[in-house]
Amino acid sequence: MGSVTFDRLAVGQSVTDATTITETHLVLAAGIFKDFNPVHANESFAAASRFGTRVVHGMLTAGMMIGVLGSYLGAGALALVEQQLRFVGAVHPGDTVATEWTVESLEPKPRLREGGGLVEFRGTCRKVGGPVVIEGTCKFLVRGAAPDQADS
């Protein structure tokens, strides 16, 4: 796995990715989250709801959104320390969502054993060709050197 370190990040830098959320994602999320609310699991019920069809769990979309950063930072990510999200739209099975995160601030943490610091990202997740469905911020502790260089 790759590793993006603190010194390789800059304010204004962006990371993007897109994924199509499938029926399988929705079913697995229901089991993992133990959330079988009929708006997720019952098409007849959901069809009569304000959404008109089943909606994907917000936390599934949020997890995919934060996963974009986890994959990008790789072994450089020490910890996700904060996440604040606002859910502003529904996602349905079959929707393709695009996530974009931008580095908002970099705060060096010289006392951090691995070096590096705290990185604040601002992000959105939107339906491709459509509206934003989640917006928010998160903070990661990011190491200052690649893992194989951290102890040398």
Residue spans per domain, the chain: 6-20+56-150
CATH T-level fold of 6-20+56-150: Thiol Ester Dehydrase; Chain A (3.10.129)
Query: What is the structure's pLDDT at 103?
Result: 98
Low-confidence ranges of the chain (pLDDT < 50): 1, 149-152
Q: What is the pLDDT of residue 110?
A: 87
Please list, residue by residue across 81-99, b when 16 or more beta carbons sit within 10 angstroms of its beta carbon and e when fewer do: eeeebeeebbbebebebbb
Rounded to the nearest angstrom, the gap between the alpha carbon of residue 46 and the centroid of all alpha carbons in its chain is 26
**Which residues 6+ apart lie within 8 Å of 101 measured at CB?**
14, 15, 16, 68, 69, 72, 121, 122, 123, 138
- Cα angle vertex 33, ends 32, 36, to 5°? 105
pLDDT digits (tens, 9 = 90+) for 85-108: 999 999 999 999 999 999 999 999
Under the phi-then-psi rule, with left for phi > 0, alpha for psi from -120 to 50, and beta for the rest, what region is 52? left
- The pLDDT score that the predictor gives to residue 151 is 44
Residue pair 94/24 in contact (Cβ under 8 Å)? The answer is: no
